[in-house]
Each structure stands twice: as C-alpha cells, then as structure tokens.
Structure 1
Amino acid sequence: MTTILQLSDTHIVPRDELCSGQLDTTESLTRLVERITSIRDQIGQIDALLVTGDLTDDGSAASYARFKSLVAPLDLPTYVLTGNHDAREAMRAAFADTLPKTGLLNWTRRVGGVQLIGLDTLIEGQGAGRLGEDGLAFLKDALSQAAGAPVLLGLHHPPFASGIEFMDKIGLIDGDALRDILASYHGPLRILCGHIHRMIVADVAGHIAISAPSPASTFSYDRRQEAPVGFMRQEGGALLHRWDTGFQTITIEANAGSGPFPF
C-alpha cells in the first residue's frame, strides 16, 4: 500500500503578519499538523506529502522557510507544486533538492507503487493558470513512461469548472488540451488539485479529479452570478490518498470531534 498526504493552499505569510489582514495561517497549519501527528497511529504509514500550490501568500523566501518549519514535524518526503500565489524562483530555491534546477517546475517521482507527476501551472502575476506547450509535452512524456502504472497527477488549478464563478474566471486556461492527453491514459489515474479551497470531486476525461480543502479558509459554494467575492473564516483539513488494488481518498478534518460514543 502507498499513502500520500495532500495539503493545499496554506497561504503562509512572514512572521507577525495576517493573510489578507484577517487569517492567521500559521496557526491554522500548525493545528492541522498537530492533528495529523496525533492520529498517525490510527491512519498508518504515510509515504510522502504532496502540496498542491499556494504554499505561501506572497512568494517570499521567508514564507517558504516558515512553511517548511511548520510541516517539519510530519517528517515526510515533501513534493510541492506552484500555485498562483507562489513565486517560481523562490520556491525552486526553497525546495532545491526535489525541483528542477532550471525552467518550469514540472517533475515526476516514483513513490512506492504510485507514479507522482507534478505540473507547474503558474503564470506569474496572474490568478489563472496555464500548462503551456512545455507542460503538456512533459505530461505526455511522463504518462508514456508510467506505462499504465497507477498515477497521482498534481496541479494547482482544477481542470474542471467548480461553479464558483469568481474562481472559475481564474481557472486553468488550457484544460481542454490537458483532458485530451489524459483521455489516452488507460491505467489508474487520479488528478489532485487545489485553488478553490474546498473538496469537489469531478470526472475529467474518464478519470477522477479531486480538489483539496484549505486549512486557511473556504470559498462558499455559491453558484449565483452575483455571489460576493471573498473567503470564509472556515478551516478545512487535508486529504489522504491510498493506493492498494485501487485508489481511495479519505478526508482528515481540521478539528477532532468529541467521542467516540457507543451506539
């Protein structure tokens, strides 16, 4: 069995600052890490941590250093993806041991029985994402090398519409091209993303795509065109992805409830 822990959209900022002047993202991530650590004996072995973008809110070296210190208690091999709030070169420097030395931050790694593929969707200075010709070519090659093996494909921007209009306006620009490539892969494949700060499950080219919650905040699922633009003070948790004879995804809530009580 192979188990991957997914975090997303942690939006860490430099010390003594609040994200968007409202959110103490350091405290929310600290609580989630403590929660995961406290139940490690219950959930079993975890093989790696995948972070699907927006590790930081400002893309600064100080914020990346702070993020690394906050997740260090998990003691897991860590693989990261760019989000629209990240900065490519600062991220490259912070995670030099796992990221390409030049170019886009696309990568692939074998973790246990799963091929992990990470795609860089960052357009610096913009909210929307794009894979571009280089990213699409990288994916096509990585899937060819996977040769039907189980794949977890990570990217920040979801390759599906969420129904949250102000987020869909800054979604993945070349999602159609991505779907064309994914349709040709006939092995087990699950798509993992972030960006929309809530868990949504969708079908993409015959594969399951899942967006992760954010420990920092939530966007309301409000399909009205006049829906207010902004975040909610509601902390999400993390996702746990297991591969055995198939994929299984489990939510880890941000806070433990009371109990268990007999029934």
Structure 2
Amino acid sequence: MLIAQVSDLHVCAPGQLANGVVDTNAMARAGLRAVAALQPRPDALLLSGDLVETGGAASYAHLLELLAPIDLPLYPVAGNHDEREALAEAFGGRAGPHTARLPGFWQYAASLGPLRLLVLDTVVPRQGHGALCARRLDWLDQRLAEDATPTVVAMHHPPFATGIGHMDAMGLLDGAEALEAIVRRHGHVQAILCGHLHRGIQVRFGGTVASVCPSTAHQIALNLLQSSADGYVMEPPAFQLHLWHGGRLVSHTVPIGDFGGTQPFA
C-alpha cells in the first residue's frame, strides 16, 4: 500500500494568485503531475487540507480540473482555508470510498487494503486555528475501538507545538491533549498525517508519530525565535509518500522539480 500525500495547495480561481503573489495554481499543477508520474503508482492520494485559498465554488471547480488527470482514489481533508459545505459538494462524487461520515463535519473512515484511514475535521469556521470538540473526539475513539486494523489518522492542524510562534498561535488550540490520550489507548495508530505548517516536521505523539507534510506551494519560514514574525519562503515545494512495508509505515519526502534525474555512482 502506497499513499501519496499532498498538502496546502491553496488553489485559486483561474488567473488569481495566493496572497496576490504566489502562483499556487501552477505549483499545484506541477505537484500533481509529479504524483501522476510516480512509479510505482500510488494506491491513494491524501489531500491534507487548505486545498483552496478562499473556499469559493470557483476555486473548488479549478481544483477538480487540476485533479482530473489523477486516476487515484482521493481522500480530502478540510483545512482552515476550506469551507466544509463547498468541499463536500465538490468532492461528493469524487472522494474515494468511505464510511461513517460524522454529520456536520468532514470526518470519515476509509479502508485502504491493509490500512485504515480516519480523517478528522479540525476546522473552526472563519478562523485560522483548529479544534477537536467532544463529538469529533468521541467519533475517533469509537472508530479506533471497533477495528484493530493498522490505522492512519489524517487531519489538517498538527496536534503539537512546533516552535514556530505565529503558526503555533493558530495550531490545534483545543482538543490536542484529549486526542493524544485517545491515540495512546489505541496502539494500532501508525501515524498522524497533517498539513497546515507548510514544512516537513515530525514528533512523537501519543505513542506514535505525528508528521507534517510540506506544501506544494510556498513554505512557512523556519524561524524558531520566540518573537518570530509570520512569513513565507519560496523553498522547494514537496509532497510525501507513505509506504506500508514490512508491517511498518515508512514515509518519504519528495521535492517537486526537475533536478536532472537519477545519476549512477561512479
């Protein structure tokens, strides 16, 4: 089982730029082409939130155009730039097979062969930060209790502080401790896959690994000063591949771009 994860595409309506500067549409197109060209071919594509920049129908329509060549089951996650209702409408006939949708949230379960995927909704409408309320957490606890299949949990907001001050201020501000307790009770959680931070970051969490996927577009500047101001940097975009191999989930970060191809060692 091979899962490709792309995150924080921030797709805009055609002709628009994110933040008035970044051509996220062109960068999303390049990233998705890189995923489509992979060998071996992934079994599923996880889209870990902030799929569009402003949440409107035109942005989601453009996103679906960009995704049209990707002949893979799609598993979208809602991010703070997304709108639940618009996302659900856009992916109503395009999302991969899933069950147990939690009413009122974009939260669901999916079977991926030897793995199970549980997608959490951390959205607080019209806010940058995230939260997990009792309903969403109870749903996760129930899903983990009912099935001991090795499980991957996907969510947009990372459930841990990173040291990047302005991003931690709009992280998962409610529910992280309860989430960690739930995950710790269920030892079959292989990883928690996140977005939002536009950087590759990993940490131990609840007895497993929580991981952040870089963005297909701009990255958040790595500034670990306590007084760090917000900002982004045009470091190389990337996506991640998660391979179920030998009873373990092995994760790789893949830069997007033309780096001259593979060269043999002398």
Which TM class, normalised by the smaller chain length?
over 0.9
Q: Following TM superposition, by how much is the alpha carbon of 1:232 offset from its aligned partner in structure 2, in angstroms?
A: 1.2
**Percent identity between the aligned chains?**
34
Runs of 4 or more above 6 Å deviation = none
CA–CA distance in structure 1, aligned partners of residues 141 and 9 of structure 2: 29
Checking the alignment, whether the CA contact within 8 Å between 1:188 and 1:246 is kept in structure 2 is no
Q: Give the match for residue 257 of structure 2.
A: 255
- Where structure 1 has 5 or more consecutive residues not aligned to the other structure, the ranges are none
- Write 1 or 2 for the structure with the bigger share of strand: 2
- Where structure 2 has 5 or more consecutive residues not aligned to the other structure, the ranges are none
CA–CA distance in structure 1, aligned partners of residues 122 and 155 of structure 2: 7
Amino acid at match of 2:259: G
Q: Give the match for residue 104 of structure 1.
A: 105
1:87 counterpart = 2:83: yes
CA–CA distance in structure 2, aligned partners of residues 228 and 243 of structure 1: 38
Written as runs of structure 1 = structure 2, the 5 A alignment for 1:1-263 is 2-38=1-37, 40-41=38-39, 44-97=40-93, 98=95, 100=101, 102-147=103-148, 149-173=149-173, 174-244=175-245, 245-258=247-260, 259-263=262-266
Name which of structure 1's ranges 87-96 and 227-236 shifts more when overlaid on structure 2.
227-236
TM superposition score normalised by structure 2: 0.93
TM superposition score normalised by structure 1: 0.94
Amino acid at match of 1:33: L
Checking the alignment, whether the CA contact within 8 Å between 1:164 and 1:221 is kept in structure 2 is yes
Q: Following TM superposition, by how much is the alpha carbon of 1:126 offset from its aligned partner in structure 2, in angstroms?
A: 0.6
CA–CA distance in structure 2, aligned partners of residues 251 and 185 of structure 1: 27
CA–CA distance in structure 1, aligned partners of residues 209 and 102 of structure 2: 31
CA–CA distance in structure 1, aligned partners of residues 118 and 169 of structure 2: 25
Residues 101 and 202 of structure 1: CA distance in aligned 2, closer, same or farther (over 3 Å): closer
CA RMSD of aligned residues (A): 1.5
Question: How many residues align structurally?
Answer: 258
Name which of structure 1's ranges 183-192 and 18-27 shifts more when overlaid on structure 2.
183-192
Checking the alignment, whether the CA contact within 8 Å between 2:183 and 2:189 is kept in structure 1 is no
Residues 46 and 162 of structure 1: CA distance in aligned 2, closer, same or farther (over 3 Å): same
Q: Following TM superposition, by how much is the alpha carbon of 1:109 offset from its aligned partner in structure 2, in angstroms?
A: 0.5
Q: Following TM superposition, by how much is the alpha carbon of 1:127 offset from its aligned partner in structure 2, in angstroms?
A: 0.6
1:24-65 CA-partner distances (Å, limit 9, x unpaired): 011001111222333x23xx1311111110000101111111
